[in-house]
Structure 1
Amino acid sequence: MFLALQSSYFKSLLLGNFDESQKDKIELKDINPDDFQNFLELIHGESSVNDDTVSGILHLAEMYDAPTAIRRCEEFLSKLSQKTMPQKLQISLRYNLENLKTKCLSEITTVSDIQSIMSLKFKEMDLSTTQALLQKALDFSIKQQ
């Protein structure tokens, strides 16, 4: 029941009209067991999220549509994570973490910050992020003239 409350995927799977809802055991394929353990601990209120576990938890939280887990990971990344700003920005873009993205973009204060982001060559960069980076680069260029 707790999984069903935290995840629309598990709600459908466990309480819906699927064969799995009648079974005692359900096999989850193609997931890392450690990531799933951390995901379970997080949705149960444990503080299992850290810089080593956050990406795996976010992957599962997105896959299983678990907004509380996503929110807790975003809060960790915003407040406690020791990851670099470009790494956080990359994660925010990959998992659509708008608050984290906004925070990361606000922390860009130098041309070298933009260069460090561009060096990652992320595939997930959306138009609004690209525009924000271009605007910051233009602002820096104008200040240097």
Structure 2
Amino acid sequence: MTDDAIEYKSVDYVVNSSTNVLETSVKNNIQCIWSGTTNDSELIDFKWEFDWSELKKQGVDELTGHITIESADNWFTKEIDVILTEANKIITKRVSTHDFDDVVSFNYTLVPCIPVESAKYRKMFLPSDQNDTILVVDGKKLHVSKAFLSYHSEYFRALFSSNFKEGQMDKIPIKEVSIDDFALLLSSFYPNPVFPNDETVEKLLEMGRRFLVSSAISISDYHLLNNSKINNERIIWLADEYVLPSLLERCLSDLDTVEKVKKLHQSPEYEMLSDNTKVKVLDILIKMI
């Protein structure tokens, strides 16, 4: 089970005082019975009955997301935040209408959440007095501290601010990242720093840049400068790609023979270098001739 959202959109239905069940749908083991009735006060009472017991059996412990209900003539559009923790759950919403016959449709987006299996991840992301929000990564719930993440990451500082809707949510989805890669990033500073090695340093640089964690980039830079056994051509590309000037200058200074320059030029990393770095390499070669 991943953090891929389950999405569904209904067709249009007429709702009036004589309607009740409008539709029964099934999507990815989520059954939804949608009902709607107009009362005498020109209000529509909507109801969604969710049955996701099959997902419960697969290890999902909750579904989070939203339902959007809208009228065909744009009279109303309402969004309802949804947290489903029980296999059978009813969601209701009352909206005002301007007609006793209204044409409406709805859609939902729900993200399955499952417990973190790995013992080391469970230890890192358990509920505690210090943790005040939940991130949903790769379908897993991670209990974290807003203040701590905000201190280390400009990305999370902005995400948790009042200017972003996510900052007001009880559970915040972090998309397009695996639990392993995200945990690698957080483990570089949270709760006790784990230093990179040659197997993890490239991914840590990538994650540090994406989530604006300068400390992750700094410790990766230190590792590449002082401890790495990665070949010089690859390190030159990493230094260029992630803007590590001291590392780049050190690696370029190692190009002290024509053979080393040729080796770089023939490597797959050379084509990925920026034009500015290629000019520096050419300058080194010219000085040798």
Tell me the equivalent position of 1:11.
157
State the secondary structure of the residue aligned to 2:157.
helix
Following TM superposition, by how much is the alpha carbon of 1:52 offset from its aligned partner in structure 2, in angstroms? 1.0
Tell me the equivalent position of 2:241.
94
8 Å CA contact 1:41–1:47 kept in 2: the answer is yes
* RMSD of aligned alpha carbons: 1.6
Question: How is 1:71-86 mapped onto 2 (pairs within 5 angstroms)?
Answer: 71-86=218-233
Tell me the equivalent position of 1:125.
273
Deviations, residues 51-109 of structure 1 (Å, cap 9, x unaligned): 11111111111111111111111111111111011110011111111111111111111
Tell me the equivalent position of 1:22.
168
Tell me the equivalent position of 1:60.
207
8 Å CA contact 2:162–2:168 kept in 1: the answer is no
Asked which structure has the greater CA Rg, the reply is: 2
Q: Distance in 2 between matches of 1:138 and 1:116?
A: 16
8 Å CA contact 1:35–1:53 kept in 2: the answer is no
**1:140 lines up with 2:265 in the alignment:** no
Tell me the equivalent position of 1:104.
251
| CA shift in 2, pair 1:120/1:48, >3 Å | same
8 Å CA contact 1:38–1:48 kept in 2: the answer is no
State the secondary structure of the residue aligned to 2:187.
helix
8 Å CA contact 1:89–1:104 kept in 2: the answer is yes
Tell me the equivalent position of 1:50.
197
Q: Extract unaligned runs of 5+ from structure 2.
A: 1-146
| CA shift in 2, pair 1:117/1:32, >3 Å | farther
State the secondary structure of the residue aligned to 1:10.
helix
* Number of aligned residues: 141
| CA shift in 2, pair 1:22/1:58, >3 Å | same
8 Å CA contact 1:49–1:57 kept in 2: the answer is yes
State the secondary structure of the residue aligned to 1:27.
strand
Letter in 2 for 1:34: D
TM-score by length of 1: 0.87
TM-score by length of 2: 0.46
Q: Which moved more, 1:102-111 or 1:120-129?
A: 120-129
Percent identity (aligned): 26
Structure with the higher fraction of residues in helix conformation:
1
State the secondary structure of the residue aligned to 2:172.
coil
Q: Distance in 1 between matches of 2:267 and 2:183?
A: 30
8 Å CA contact 2:240–2:248 kept in 1: the answer is yes
Q: Distance in 2 between matches of 1:14 and 1:86?
A: 39
Letter in 1 for 2:174: L
Q: Which moved more, 1:14-23 or 1:4-13?
A: 14-23
RCO comparison, higher one (Cα < 8 Å, 6+): 1
Deviations, residues 96-131 of structure 1 (Å, cap 9, x unaligned): 111111111111111121112112243442343222
Q: Extract unaligned runs of 5+ from structure 1.
A: none
Q: Which moved more, 1:19-28 or 1:51-60?
A: 19-28
Question: How is 1:32-43 mapped onto 2 (pairs within 5 angstroms)?
Answer: 32-43=178-189
